Amino acid sequence: MRLVSNPTLGVLFPVAQPGNVTYDRRSLIIDGQRKLLISAAIHYPRSVPAMWPGLVQTAKEGGVDVIETYVFWNGHELSPGNYYFGGRFDLVKFVKIVQQAGMHLILRIGPFIAAEWNYGGVPVWLHYIPGTVFRTNSTTFMYHMQRFTTYIVNLMKQEKLFASQGGPIILAQIENEYGYYEQFYGEGGKQYAMWAASMAVSQNTGVPWIMCQQFDAPDSVIGTCNSFYCDQFTPNSPNKPKIWTENWPGWFKTFGGRDPHRPPEDVAFAVARFFQKGGSVQNYYMYHGGTNFGRTAGGPFITTSYDYDAPVDEYGLPRLPKWGHLKELHRAIKLCEHAVLNGEHVNISLGPSLEADVYTDSSGACAAFISNIDDKNDKTVEFRNVSYHLPAWSVSILPDCKNVVFNTAKVSSQSNIVEMVPENLQQSDKGVNTLKWDVFKETAGIWGKADFVKNGFVDQINTTKDTTDYLWLTTSIFIGEDEEFLKKGSKPVLLIESKGHALHAFVNQEYLGTGTGNGTHSPFTFKNPISLRAGRNEISFLGLTVGLQTAGPYYDFIGAGLTSIKIKGFNNGTIDLSSYAWTYKIGVLGEHLRIYQEDGLNSVNWTSTYEPPKGQSLTWYKAIVDAPPGDEPVGMDMLQMGKGLAWLNGEEIGRYWPRKSSKKLECVQECDYRGKFNPDKCDTGCGEPTQKWYHIPRSWFKPSGNILVIFEEKGGDPKKIRFLRRKVSGVCANVAEDYPSTGIESQGEDRNEKDNNASLVHLTCPKNTVISALKFASFGNPSGSCGSYRQGNCHDPNSSLVVEKACLNKNDCVIKLTEENFKNNLCPGKSGKLAVEAVCS
């Protein structure tokens, strides 16, 4: 490493010398050294450049060595040969920020990426080049894939970003999990996989290539693992290292779905098991999930939030205790690096579900991982004549084969209490919301000149080519006066079948209702009584796509749109409108005129009002708003809106839809971390809107005069829209006396050894705030969780005093669980724990 000053930044930053990256069966070898690497996925277009340095720094502070990102083809190649690398898509800038942080980077070029990103990252235009089939030996697909891959590699080379040139990129990935799909493409699939590997290798990057979940990866590339657990993975060749490209520390959400959480104890367990069983590179997918701005979310139905329950939340704040627990884990693993990578390995069975993996190097240094994979029972084991207590489903890490510095099930990191503090969109001096709205109502049905008329239906995606979520189709029917339902005052019933993803129905310009698919299943039926009058009736549908498919065999051909429309309840029975002449129009007028952008704002006649209409479909709302005070991240509460799109100052916030998940689904109060995780295991939010808050990056705001534009499809109440500031208002910790600690905080401070080994409770409030009050403190056997701790029957009455003395009015404090501090444990003989909840302000 050497320090170089950057003329634009005027600071010194470390720049690696040209680095040689190779590998052997044990690990990557960087500049001749075997490396044990913790990697973190942060996708550059899922945040904004202003957030990148902070996110990378938070990863670094969390004990991460490598940042991993996909490359987002459809964000870069907007039409064939027309490239874009501005704003959120400034890949070079992102890679340089990682470099300036002194970290490595894994570049997963794909360029097919899945990633819950629209169309799996492949540009939609490529599908419409005749004869193209994605991800097989299709000449046009391969041509464009190679051209884009080469473009990216050359760009990185020009900027000297590969490790071989002194840059941060240590690995590059081609394709993505093709091993699952190859079989569906027959011989063509096999040929394509091998072609992809050799095309990549021929790029001469000077760094190794990986292919994830590619079971027959050729010798020239490293096959890697993606899963919730990869301890049992073995590379397909004995001279390749064991690399885990996707460890999912949470999961993504779909509009109308639940909110998945993966407990930190289980994430840590999976990581520790991986390194215990010989792994050497582990990447969290995602470490910061971020936001699917605009229409970048894949589908159908992936939410705008891509928070992922990741160690860093959507807004860029560390998620505690997950982030903190993993930081401790990384520190413990790093203490084992040399012995683990260079030592002799022995595996010792210590009983059913119990094993130790011991690594001893030539200098005699020894590191051990002891695990209990029983998912119910805690166990005590003897290892080298010492007895160790292992909670169920946990790994203890002993960097010296003697002292446990970390156990995956014992969380000593603090938790944060995070609040979304509401702010009116604009405040008058008196604090009253006096916001003036400009309103523009679209007509239901065809606006302007129709695009075409056709008997029957078209595929929506083939028609819009995904230039918009919207496709209008309209027809009319004539109702004779003799229809019985007119006389009886009853209503015929509209019956719809659709391939997906959703639609809004309108009869004679009136909004009738919305039909939509569920989960990731897009086909749906829609049944609704309709009011028809004698004479001509206009029936219109606004067909919707909600993000294109992101993976699956031949996913590029999956369509959307109506397949059948009938109306039941006429004198003659049911009429089938499916083969009627339908008039089509792509998109909605406001979108076409770009009335959300500076240059398009005045292309319609807005009506100004302090009382914007509510519950009105197809309505654009525009308001001039102030930035919320302070510097906390900002969200926007859209709970009282229906469904639509939002922009601030022309920047695309994304799709909003406070669609609720079913109450019938299973959710948990408290999640049992023990046992194999799956995305349905620890869900919350049953019966609640999947996403009510929408992230607006701070950097998009000016202090005042910001233009907020909303397109509401079915009806909402814009007066209820609020900005929210994401604030850490408090911290909690819950630590037992016998929790291991890496001892780093206590170095040099303590006099006796017992104190040195004492468990520590570390509390930190956000910068510029202090611990201003204690809400709860009890040493003994308190129960409950952060926000709801309760005293048990053992309680040291001095608990609050001790904690106050250590922490009050401080930004950061440490409390030692020593006998000296907590003398009055009323349950002698049992080990106690300290639970604290404190206010930060």
Considering only residues 730 through 769, tell me which ones interact with ligand GAL, judged by CB under 6 A. Answer: none
At residue 145, φ and ψ (nearest 5 deg) are -65, -45
H or E stretch including 329?
A: helix 322-335
Least distance CB 180 / ligand GAL (angstroms):
8
The span from the CA of 807 to the CA of 762, in Å, is: 10
Of the pair 226, 518, the CB lying nearest ligand GAL is at 226
CB of 176 to ligand GAL, least distance (A): 5
Structure tokens at 232: 């049992």
Nearer to ligand GAL, 113 or 708 (CB): 113
Distant-in-sequence, close-in-space partners of 825: CB < 8 Å, separation ≥ 6: 779, 780, 794, 796, 832
Active-site residue 819, yes or no? no
CB of 563 to ligand GAL, least distance (A): 28
Residue 472 makes contact with ligand GAL by CB under 6 A: no
Size of the site for ligand GAL (CB under 6 A): 9
Select from 107-115, 374-382, 537-545, 769-777 the region that touches ligand GAL (CB under 6 A): 107-115
CB of 365 closer than 8 Å to CB of 359:
no
Establish if 74 lies at the interface with ligand GAL (CB under 6 A): no
Closest to ligand GAL by CB, 246 or 632: 246
The nearer residue to ligand GAL, 230 or 335, going by C-beta atoms, is 230
Within residues 231-250, the interface with ligand GAL by CB under 6 A covers: 246
Q: Tokens in use for 724?
A: 């929210």
User: Based on CB atoms, which residue is closest to ligand GAL, 91 or 115?
Assistant: 115
Minimum CB separation of residue 39 from ligand GAL in Å reads 15
Residues 19 and 104: their CA atoms lie apart, in Å, by: 11
Could you tell me the smallest distance in angstroms from the CB atom of residue 551 to ligand GAL? Answer: 7
Region 671-700 residues binding ligand GAL, contact defined as CB under 6 A? none
What phi and psi values does residue 93 have, to the nearest 5 degrees?
A: -60, -45
The interface region with ligand GAL, picked from 113-121, 472-480, 586-594, 613-621 by CB under 6 A, is 113-121
Find the binding residues for ligand GAL in span 420-439 (CB under 6 A).
Answer: none
Residue among 99, 100, 149, 226 that touches ligand GAL (CB under 6 A)? 226
Tokens of 176: 């993505």
Q: What is the DSSP string of 387-408?
A: EEEE-SSEEEEETTSS---EET
State the Cα–Cα distance between residues 495 and 491, nearest whole angstrom.
13
C-beta of 116 vs 265, nearer to ligand GAL: 116
How far apart CA 681 and CA 690 sit, in angstroms, is 17
Taking a C-beta distance cutoff of 8 angstroms, is the pair 129, 142 a contact?
no
Residue 837 touching ligand GAL (CB under 6 A): no
**Stretch near ligand GAL under the rule CB under 6 A, chosen from 48-56, 114-122, 161-169, 345-353:** 114-122
Structure tokens of 432? 């009253």
CB of 114 to ligand GAL, least distance (A): 3
* 217 vs 760 by CB, closer to ligand GAL: 217
Residue 113 contacts ligand GAL per CB under 6 A: yes
Candidate segments 111-119, 133-141, 429-437, 541-549, binder of ligand GAL by CB under 6 A: 111-119
User: How far is it, in rounded angstroms, from Cα 753 to Cα 256?
Assistant: 55
Nearer to ligand GAL, 98 or 114 (CB): 114
Given the complex with ligand GAL, which of 91 and 618 has the nearer CB atom?
Answer: 91
Task: Select from 110-118, 327-335, 471-479, 688-696 the region that touches ligand GAL (CB under 6 A).
Answer: 110-118
Distance CA 295, CA 756 (A): 54
Can you say whether residue 585 is alpha, beta or left, with left for phi > 0 and alpha for psi between -120 and 50 degrees? beta
658-682 in b/e burial notation, b at 16+ Cβ within 10 A? bbebeeeeebeeebebbeebebebb
Using Cβ positions, the residue closest to ligand GAL within the complex turns out to be 114
Which range touches ligand GAL (CB under 6 A), out of 112-120, 138-146, 559-567, 725-733? 112-120
Contact 105, 538 (CB under 8 A): no
Q: Supply the DSSP symbol for 832.
A: P
Catalytic choice (177, 423, 651, 713)? 177
CA distance 23 to 34: 8
Q: Tell me the closest approach of the beta carbon of residue 292 to ligand GAL, in angstroms.
A: 12
The helix/strand/coil state of 416 is strand
Q: Are 230 and 274 in contact (CB under 8 A)?
A: yes
Cα–Cα distances in angstroms (integers) from residue 465 to residues 296, 306, 459, 547, in the given order: 14, 24, 10, 12
CA distance 343 to 286: 31
Going by C-alpha positions, the residue among 315, 424, 421, 418 that lies closest to residue 724 is 421
Binding residues among 608-647 for ligand GAL as defined by CB under 6 A: none
| Binding segment (CB under 6 A) for ligand GAL, from list 108-116, 259-267, 431-439, 813-821 | 108-116
Min dist CB 212 to ligand GAL, Å, is 7
Which residues fall within 8 angstroms of residue 658, CB to CB, at 6 or more apart? 638, 639, 640, 641, 689, 690, 691, 692
Shortest Å, Cβ 638 to ligand GAL: 24
Three-class SS state of 748: coil
> From residue 116 to residue 145, what is the string marking binding to ligand GAL with x (rule CB under 6 A)?
x-----------------------------
Give the integer Cα–Cα distance in Å for 321 and 125. 44
Site membership for ligand GAL, residue 39 (CB under 6 A): no
**Near ligand GAL by CB under 6 A: residue from 69, 149, 176, 799:** 176
246, 328, 337, 355: which one is catalytic? 246
Q: Which residue's structure tokens are 């499916």?
A: 578
Opening angle at CA 480, ends 475 and 485, nearest 5: 95
Cβ contact 155:93 at 8 Å: no
Which of residues 109 and 113 has its CB atom nearest to ligand GAL in the complex? 113
**Do the Cβ atoms of 304 and 655 come closer than 8 Å?**
yes
- Tell me how far apart the alpha carbons of residues 627 and 332 are, in angstroms, rounded to a whole number: 43
Is position 40 an interface residue for ligand GAL (rule: CB under 6 A)? no
Report in angstroms how near the CB of residue 265 gets to ligand GAL at its nearest: 21
Closer residue to ligand GAL in complex, CB, 176/303: 176
Nearer to ligand GAL, 115 or 777 (CB): 115
Closest contact distance (angstroms) between CB of 141 and ligand GAL is 19
Half-sphere exposure of 290 (CA within 13 A, CB side): 29
Nearest to 40 by CA among 90, 106, 93: 106
Q: From CA 175, how far away is CA 194, in angstroms rounded?
A: 11
Query: Which of 106, 107, 114, 636 is the binder for ligand GAL (CB under 6 A)?
Result: 114
In the complex, least distance from residue 218 CB atom to ligand GAL, rounded to whole angstroms = 20
CB of 57 vs ligand GAL, minimal distance in Å: 24
Please give the C-alpha separations between residue 445 and each of 476, 543, 719, in angstroms, as whole numbers.
11, 11, 27
Q: Which of 48, 51, 71, 115 binds ligand GAL (CB under 6 A)?
A: 115
| 177 a catalytic residue | yes
Site for ligand GAL in 248-277 (CB under 6 A): 252
User: According to CB under 6 A, which one of 177, 314, 355, 837 is a site residue for ligand GAL?
Assistant: 177
Binding interface with ligand GAL (CB under 6 A): 113-116, 176-177, 226, 246, 252
Which residues are part of the catalytic machinery? 177, 246
